[in-house]
Amino acid sequence: MKNTHPPPAWLKDAVFYQIYPQSFYDTNGDGIGDLPGIIAKLDYIQSLGVTALWLNPIFTSPFGDAGYDISDFYQVAPRYGTNRDLQRLCAEAHRRGMRVCLDLVAGHSSNQHPWFLASAKPEKNKYSDWYVWTDSAWTSETGAVRGCSERDGGYLPNFFCFQPALNYGHAKPDPKKKWQLPVTHPAVQAVRRELKNIMKFWLDLGADGFRVDMASSLVRGDADGAGLRELWRFYRQWLDRDYPEAVLISEWSNPRRAIGSGFDIDFMIHFNEPAYYKLLGTAWEAGGGVATQVFFDRQGRGDVAEFLSSYLRNFRATRGRGYISLPTGNHDFPRHSRGRAERDLRVIYAMLFTMPGVPFIYYGDEIGMKYLENLTSKEGSYQNRTGTRTPMQWDSARNAGFSTAPPAKLYLPVDGRAAAPTVARQERDPQSLLNLTRRLLVLRRRHPALGNTGDFRPVYAKKKSYPLVYERRLNGARCWVAVNPTNRPLQVTLPAVAGAEKLEALDADLTKRGTKTTLTMKPVSFGIWSVAGTRGSAH
């Protein structure tokens, strides 16, 4: 499966920072983060080694799902600022050589959107078929929401009940269900064009691309994925022609399919391909419970082979045509700091920032922000998401410097523990997690073998065993990365190397005795080396 083009060149050394705008930095004291707040923090973000931003949705919305329920796709929500503020943010980022990607909620709108309000009317109108409606209120169709309008039918939601699915058609409509429209239907084609208009509007204003929400959910009745492929390639071809630098990042978690459909980056996260949750666990794969048997586990109960089989299958199928991202976290699952110590995060980041593909840092992960337990759900965040979305901790001022509002007015409570990490405190400490994050990203830039495009090969990866050692390689340059997430000291023999230069390590050593290389690791440790003259591998 060929992509229509190689990904834009700027992705070769891109590092993203994900901002949940309502919790980042509040400049007008209303308790909610805003676009001027992001502008004010651009220098900080750049100081991490970050080259691009992804902002969660910033558009007009009733905020039933934190902005993933849009009621005007062409307008920044007043609580974040104005379209001009966004234009200014893009210009300020560009001035620093950084890019800005927005969230494209392609699959649905809010049920308050004027298109849906018109669609829900019993009288036939321009928007009647813009959403997926059954032909009678008595039709029982799995998932259909019935009895919510005067229109005689039920609509299919894409996620929550107030997020009706926009109609991208059925790839193979069921002849017995006349309401399933083919992808060639004029209303479906109009929805397609509208999405293009939305993208064009923001690209013309200064955006550099989009993270596409639920990218795999658009076309229905599409078992083999041909309909989705056709849809996304339609957008990709248009972008290639008119906006060749624009990137498309998918929330799909199936890189082979996503990149084959024209996406430049796909996240491997908490659904579909098991690689990510076998590595880190996300509390979703066990139906909202907490996963056991993940690789990054002090008890050492994980199995790296399970991570690798899924990861390598996707890596080999997509290399050179697109990138896989294993993000530090995101707004949909608990921060990895939950149940872990800061030292564990160091080992996790040593791996995540030395893997192929495009790194994504979720705001606050660079200082090890905690997952705050037992908070009341906010804007549809519910279990496992709320504690991940709390205000950024900047300094020791009121509300950790996030906002001057009275604490009761904040979007979500701030981590108020005296020991809560802040940017200001970690700035002053060369050994802080923040400064480790910076050093790892510097290494990634200085040693392109560790970067986005370098090859990846396990050097020591045994079933149900630790540590994991892998090689990154580019144009003859090689680096080895070793991680030991367990609370056990480990020693293993690796293939011979002519030389090894330590680039960064936490209690790990490589020593050469004759033809043998010995890796010695203390509990919860990692090491990164530039190596010369290796042969073979110990799989």
Contact 216, 256 (CB under 8 A): no
**Binding status of residue 332 toward ligand NOJ by CB under 6 A:** yes
Query: Closest Cα partner for 363 from 44, 96, 60?
Result: 44
Nearer to ligand NOJ, 65 or 85 (CB): 65
379 binds, among Ca ion, ligand NOJ, none (CB under 5 to 8 A by kind): none
28 binds, among ligand NOJ, Ca ion, none (CB under 5 to 8 A by kind): Ca ion
Structure tokens at 209: 């691309």
Can you tell me the distance from the alpha carbon of 444 to that of 13, in angstroms, rounded to the nearest whole number?
9
Structure tokens at 65: 């799902």
Query: Closest Cα partner for 392 from 361, 418, 423, 417?
Result: 423
Kindly identify the residues of this chain, within the stretch 26-85, that bind Ca ion according to CB under 5 A: 26, 28, 30, 32, 34
Helix (H) or strand (E) holding 352, with range, is: helix 342-352
**Binding status of residue 55 toward ligand NOJ by CB under 6 A:** no
Can you tell me the distance from the alpha carbon of 128 to that of 113, in angstroms, rounded to the nearest whole number?
13
**Binding status of residue 214 toward ligand NOJ by CB under 6 A:** yes
Contact map string, positions 10 to 49, toward ligand NOJ, x by CB under 6 A: ----------------------------------------
Nearer to ligand NOJ, 213 or 415 (CB): 213
Contact map string, positions 4 to 33, toward Ca ion, x by CB under 5 A: ----------------------x-x-x-x-
Can you tell me the distance from the alpha carbon of 179 to that of 183, in angstroms, rounded to the nearest whole number?
12
**Binding status of residue 304 toward ligand NOJ by CB under 6 A:** no
Can you tell me the distance from the alpha carbon of 434 to that of 431, in angstroms, rounded to the nearest whole number?
8
313 binds, among Ca ion, ligand NOJ, none (CB under 5 to 8 A by kind): none
Can you tell me the distance from the alpha carbon of 198 to that of 265, in angstroms, rounded to the nearest whole number?
20
Instruction: Provide the minimum distance between the beta carbon of 454 and ligand NOJ in the complex, in angstroms, as a whole number.
Output: 29
Instruction: Provide the minimum distance between the beta carbon of 321 and ligand NOJ in the complex, in angstroms, as a whole number.
Output: 24
Nearer to ligand NOJ, 202 or 295 (CB): 202
Contact map string, positions 151 to 170, toward ligand NOJ, x by CB under 6 A: --------x-----------
Interhelix angle 342-352/433-446, rounded to 10 degrees, is 10
Kindly identify the residues of this chain, within the stretch 251-280, that bind ligand NOJ according to CB under 6 A: 251
Which residues, including other chains, have CB under 8 Å from residue 272's CB and lie 6 or more apart?
252, 253, 254
Instruction: Provide the minimum distance between the beta carbon of 85 and Ca ion in the complex, in angstroms, as a whole number.
Output: 11
Can you tell me the distance from the alpha carbon of 423 to that of 368, in angstroms, rounded to the nearest whole number?
10
Residue whose token pair is 């690798």: 308
Can you tell me the distance from the alpha carbon of 528 to that of 481, in angstroms, rounded to the nearest whole number?
5
Residues near Ca ion, by CB under 5 A: 26, 28, 30, 32, 34
Residues near ligand NOJ, by CB under 6 A: 65, 68, 105, 159, 213-214, 251, 331-332
